[in-house]
Amino acid sequence: MNRFPEHDWKVLSRLKPLALERLSRRILDGAQKIIEDAEEGKSHDAYLALYKFIMDQDEEIALCFDDWRRSNAMTLLICWRTRKLITDEEFAAFSPETRNVIKLWYES
């Protein structure tokens, strides 16, 4: 598939805020756990762990949401599916052709 279909681009664009919200929620939950698990007297260690976690997660957000172009749509969709940022029902809204490309990617 050389070109991401218009219908699928619209679906991807519609799902973008949901996927971003889900990833952001996951990141905030992870940050909260680091904060809650901080041991007394080890606040700086917790800070360093939190900083590293946020930096790593910033790379995840960039990978999944930066470079928003139709020519990059398949890569973004693979990223979302790999990270379970869209449901099976939401994925079903894409064309059979697009779903097949994603399935073939998983099988390779």
Q: What is the pLDDT of residue 78?
A: 95
Q: What is the pLDDT of residue 1?
A: 46
Q: Low-confidence residues of the chain, pLDDT below 70? A: 1-2
Burial class (CB in 10 A: 0-12, 13-18, 19+), 64: buried
**Tokens of residue 78, six digits:** 């693979």
Q: What is the value of pTM for the model shown? A: 0.89
Q: Classify each residue of 9-31 as buried b or exposed e, where b means 16 or more C-beta atoms within 10 Å of its C-beta.
A: eebbeebbeebeebbeeebeeee
